[in-house]
């Protein structure tokens, strides 16, 4: 198990929505039978997930469909929409801040409470509550986060001793349990995930559940015999004419009918209920889990082995134990590291050229991988990132079809991010046809790489894995390949309608795309040595950083309906768009 930083806000929002929907369903069908302490605990877990950008990587794999959804979410270029998200978050925050400022004015105009007939001053002293009076509120509220104060309406002199007692106990419970701080965290979560309608539903329901949980604690303190009197006080003080609801905890606010039903139907909490609540809370922690292979490959891999031996790249394989097919497997040269779960092992193998490649074998999932990366926030002290092989090696590299480890074959099916990171002297890489996936930046800065034949089984390719391959003039693809195809040296998918990558080393002044091409992928033309690019009328979208670092690019001809991402021309300062009819 490992805790990692999760940078994808969209993924956090979607995975949290799953628990929000479940809570809303439970709340709707069983709300009157389950104590509100359960919901406040569950909402707290949701808040932590929404606010803290962390995830827990577990060695147990996810179902295939779940991993596919996770990969799809991670592939969404959130950076293309970060300005829209920032503006929405700022506007939402400003609305809540303005409401809080309005309540600050109300508090400044409030006066300290005067002596109340038939009310002992010791009641205030004992509870330690600072009480003020305002003519701008209709029911008692607690205002503030750290230095909290209770505000009473101007008719407080007409309240009976019992009504006053219920009010003070209710507000004291809000103060002791820091409910206003919880409401602040709810607002913070809504500001971050303002685009998610379920976050706003959580905002409404969580505020209500905080009030009803407080009601439960009041009944527990005064006894079930006093719940009818408490309900009558609640009804008599209920009002809808209150401003800035999110800034405070109110006595007679938040779905009065729902609260009355809960109060009158309240039953004491049985001991077994707490066990059930604990199991439910632990189960809800699943929203923090992330697929071990997916997150770490996509986040940039693993650090060097703890024993300091070797380095790691990222080539994935699947367990060959149950397959009838035999592969040309290579033996393990050295075991670098094994975890205590027996779920994965780091090993090195030797290619036919005599160069060592590093692999990570995931035993429980039946897959193996090499890894490498540059995300330094994951590095323990004293460790450095390196590629999956010696980056000074010059010449040809042949990736083996499979790794033989403890008597089992693990066919290679994935090349992960930064596997050949800055292997500047490698001229040719032979990829076996067992490989089904190539991760982002797998061949980053392989400046001398001239020839690359893509495998026939290739199904998935992340954002241009060939950034910095300045000598690569054309892609090669076998005719039996169905997912990808090569036209004029460039790599396409979706039956030639989606340009995936243009070879950076291909010297061609003018590139004209065919009419069937409707979209260009992120970083597709990265560093390409072209001067003019003509886009067809059918072109709908050009994704972010498409022409990044195309320093020779001068003109991109496009129709009026073609849409460009805001950072499509990053590093291409000379380029401009010429629109044609």
- Residue 287 near residue 331 (C-beta atoms within 8 A): no
Euclidean distance between CA atoms 469 and 455, whole angstroms: 18
Top pLDDT among 308 and 470 is at 470
Euclidean distance between CA atoms 507 and 486, whole angstroms: 17
Residue matched to tokens 């498409």: 546
> Residue 371 has which token pair?
């890894």
Beta strands 141-143; 248-250: pairing state: antiparallel
Query: Of the ranges 52-61, 81-90, 226-235, 339-348, which one carries the lowest mean pLDDT score?
Result: 52-61
Give strand ranges (E) for 30-169: 54-58, 111-112, 131-134, 141-143, 149-153
DSSP 3-state percent helix, strand, coil across the chain (nearest 5): 35, 20, 45
What 3-state DSSP class applies to 285? helix
Residue matched to tokens 């990044």: 548
Mean pLDDT of 250-268: 62
Burial class (CB in 10 A: 0-12, 13-18, 19+), 229: middle
Top pLDDT among 266 and 399 is at 399
Q: Sheet containing 141-143: which strands, arranged edge to edge?
A: 111-112, 131-134, 149-153, 141-143, 248-250
Beta strands 498-501; 519-520: pairing state: parallel
- Residue 504 near residue 470 (C-beta atoms within 8 A): yes
How does pLDDT run across 490-547, given as a tens digit for each residue?
999 888 889 999 999 998 899 999 999 988 999 999 999 999 999 999 888 898 889 9
How does pLDDT run across 121-170, given as a tens digit for each residue?
555 555 667 778 877 777 777 877 777 778 777 766 666 777 777 888 88
Residue matched to tokens 């033996």: 331
φ/ψ (deg, to 5) at 10: -60, -40
Percent of the chain past pLDDT 70, that is, above it, reads 69
- Residue 418 near residue 444 (C-beta atoms within 8 A): yes
Residue 298: the pLDDT is 30
Nearest CA to 513 among 537, 478, 548?
537
What 3-state DSSP class applies to 443? coil
Bridge partners, 56 (sequence order): 3, 289
Label residue 466 by pLDDT band (50, 70, 90). Answer: very high
Vertex 520 angle, CA 516 and 523, to 5°: 155
Percent of the chain past pLDDT 90, that is, above it, reads 18
Mean pLDDT of 422-427: 90
Nearest CA to 370 among 342, 348, 385, 352?
348
Q: How many CA atoms lie within 13 A of 43 on its CB side?
A: 30
Label residue 310 by pLDDT band (50, 70, 90). Answer: very low
C-alpha distance across the termini of the chain, in Å: 57
How does pLDDT run across 41-55, given as a tens digit for each residue?
888 888 888 888 776
Euclidean distance between CA atoms 389 and 373, whole angstroms: 12
Q: How far is CA 127 from CA 175, 430, 457, in A?
A: 10, 76, 72
Q: Mean pLDDT score of the chain, rounded to an integer?
A: 75
């Amino acid at each position: 198990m490992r805790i990692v930083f999760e940078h994808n806000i969209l993924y956090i929002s979607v995975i949290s929505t799953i628990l929000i929907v479940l809570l809303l369903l439970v709340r709707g069908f069983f709300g009157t039978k389950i104590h509100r302490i359960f919901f406040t605990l569950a909402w707290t877990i949701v808040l932590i997930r929404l606010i803290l950008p962390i995830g827990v990587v577990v060695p147990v794999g996810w179902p295939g469909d779940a991993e596919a959804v996770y990969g799809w979410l991670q592939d969404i270029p959130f950076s293309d929409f970060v300005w829209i998200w920032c503006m929405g978050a700022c506007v939402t925050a400003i609305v809540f801040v303005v409401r809080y400022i309005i309540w600050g004015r109300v508090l400044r105009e409030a006066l300290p409470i005067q002596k109340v007939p038939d009310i002992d001053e010791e009641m205030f002293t004992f509870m330690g509550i600072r009480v003020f009076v305002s003519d701008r509120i209709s029911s008692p509220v607690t205002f503030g986060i750290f230095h909290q104060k209770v505000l009473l309406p101007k008719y407080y002199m007409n309240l009976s001793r019992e009504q006053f007692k219920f009010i003070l106990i209710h507000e004291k419970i809000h103060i002791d349990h820091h409910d206003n701080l919880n409401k602040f965290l709810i607002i913070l979560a809504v500001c971050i995930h303002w685009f998610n309608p379920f976050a706003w539903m959580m905002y409404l329901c969580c505020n209500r559940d905080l009030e009803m949980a407080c009601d439960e604690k009041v009944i527990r303190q005064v006894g079930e015999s006093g719940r009818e009197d408490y309900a009558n006080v609640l009804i008599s003080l209920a009002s809808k004419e209150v401003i800035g609801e999110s800034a405070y905890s109110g006595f007679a606010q938040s779905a009065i009918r729902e609260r009355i039903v809960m109060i009158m139907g309240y039953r004491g909490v049985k001991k077994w209920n707490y066990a059930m609540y604990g199991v439910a809370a632990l189960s809800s922690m699943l929203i923090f889990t992330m697929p071990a292979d997916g997150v770490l490959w996509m986040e940039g891999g693993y650090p060097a082995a703890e024993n300091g031996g070797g380095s790691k790249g990222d080539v994935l394989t699947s367990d060959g134990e149950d397959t009838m097919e035999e592969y040309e497997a290579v033996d393990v040269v050295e075991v670098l590291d094994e975890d205590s779960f027996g779920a994965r092992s780091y090993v090195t193998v030797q290619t036919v050229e005599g160069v060592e490649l590093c692999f990570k074998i995931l035993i429980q999932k039946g897959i193996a991988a090499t890894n490498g990366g540059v995300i330094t926030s994951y590095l323990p002290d004293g460790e450095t990132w390196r590629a999956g092989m010696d980056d000074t090696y010059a010449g040809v590299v042949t990736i083996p079809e499979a790794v033989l480890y403890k008597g089992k074959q693990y066919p290679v099916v994935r090349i992960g991010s930064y596997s050949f990171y800055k292997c500047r002297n490698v001229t040719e890489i032979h990829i076996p046809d067992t490989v089904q996936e190539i991760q982002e930046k797998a061949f980053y800065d392989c400046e001398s790489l001239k020839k690359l034949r893509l495998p026939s089984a290739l199904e998935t390719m992340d954002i241009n894995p060939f950034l910095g391959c300045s000598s690569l003039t054309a892609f090669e693809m076998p005719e039996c390949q169905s997912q990808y195809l090569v036209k004029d040296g460039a790599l396409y998918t979706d039956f030639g309608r989606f340009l995936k990558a243009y070879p950076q080393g291909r010297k061609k002044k003018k590139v004209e795309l065919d009419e069937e091409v409707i979209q260009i992928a992120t970083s597709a033309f990265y560093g390409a040595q072209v001067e003019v690019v003509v886009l067809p009328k059918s072109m709908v979208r050009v994704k972010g950083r498409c022409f990044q670092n195309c320093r020779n690019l001068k003109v991109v001809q496009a129709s009026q309906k073609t849409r460009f991402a805001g950072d499509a021309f990053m590093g291409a300062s000379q380029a401009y768009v010429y629109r044609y009819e």
